[in-house]
Amino acid sequence: MKIKLTLLSYAVMLGLSSCRKEIKPDKGGIDIFSNVYFNASKGLDQMQSFHISKMSYSEDDLIEIVPDRSFPEVNKQLYFINDSLCYSLGSERKNAIFSEVVLKQEPLLVWQKKEGAVFSKEWIPNYRNRRKLSDTVLFGKQYKRFEINSPWNYTRFYIYPTDTILPYSLYRHAEIDYRGRLERIDSYNKKNDIFVTLQLIPRKNWDEPAQELFEFNRFVTRTKNE
């Protein structure tokens, strides 16, 4: 009887594990930053920082702000993204009606977008040759890690264990495998002696331009339904 109960408990635990439910937040934001270190083997003094993308989402709708690299306080481009389709909103658009933009503008597939966050279906290069590393703590958060070493690059990946998934991910296939969110990639180019960090930082609030757009569209929708 004891053996049967043990086997039953194991089966229940296995079932619960396989039915793990992911949580999708209703709203929030995502920032993507990158630091590039030149002549990295000689020190980390020659460095440039880039705010690659500022994204805000409301359920399935996503607003991406692409900052100008030379003047980060200036918006270079705004995009409205839904599912796999991307629509340009110019650089300063506060009154775009999403439903009209979708009808009037020829969309661009997010995989073809050249600015801001990179959307890709591709797997991490040499992913099958990865090696597990011990967990570590960065900025008060514990991360799972793995590395990929090739003749040209050495890269470490940091995954934060969580059931909460975001509408954007750096490499979704790795997040599924490790049951978490890929939030940091550190890569060293051996030939060019360049060290690059890429960070994905989630936040709870929208950017101000995105908030204006989301609230304006809610107002338009509510007015049409009255």
pTM: 0.86
- pLDDT at residue 226, rounded to an integer: 67
Give pLDDT tens digits for 74-133. 888 999 999 899 999 986 677 889 999 999 999 999 999 999 999 988 999 999 999 999
pLDDT(197) > 80: yes
The pLDDT value given to residue 95? 80
pLDDT exceeds cutoff 70 at 12: no
Give tens-digit pLDDT for 46-70.
999 999 999 999 988 999 999 988 8
Mean pLDDT, residues 11-30: 68
Name residue, tokens 């705010």.
51
- 158, β-bridge pairs: 145, 184
Which residues, at least 6 apart from 3, have a Cβ–Cβ distance to it below 8 Å?
none
List of E strands, 139-193: 141-149, 153-161, 180-189
Listed residue (117, 121, 115) closest to 172, CA to CA: 121
Q: pLDDT class for 4, splitting at 50, 70, 90? A: very low
Q: Residue 195 has what pLDDT?
A: 98
Q: What's residue 22's pLDDT? A: 81
The predicted pLDDT at position 82 comes to: 92
Please, are residues 25 and 163 in contact by the beta-carbon 8 Å criterion? no
Among 29, 64, 69, residue whose Cα is nearest residue 50: 69
> For position 7, what pLDDT does the model report?
43
pLDDT band at 19 (very low <50, low <70, confident <90, very high): low
| Residue 201 CB neighbour total at 10 angstroms | 12
Q: Which residue has the tokens 């008060």?
A: 140
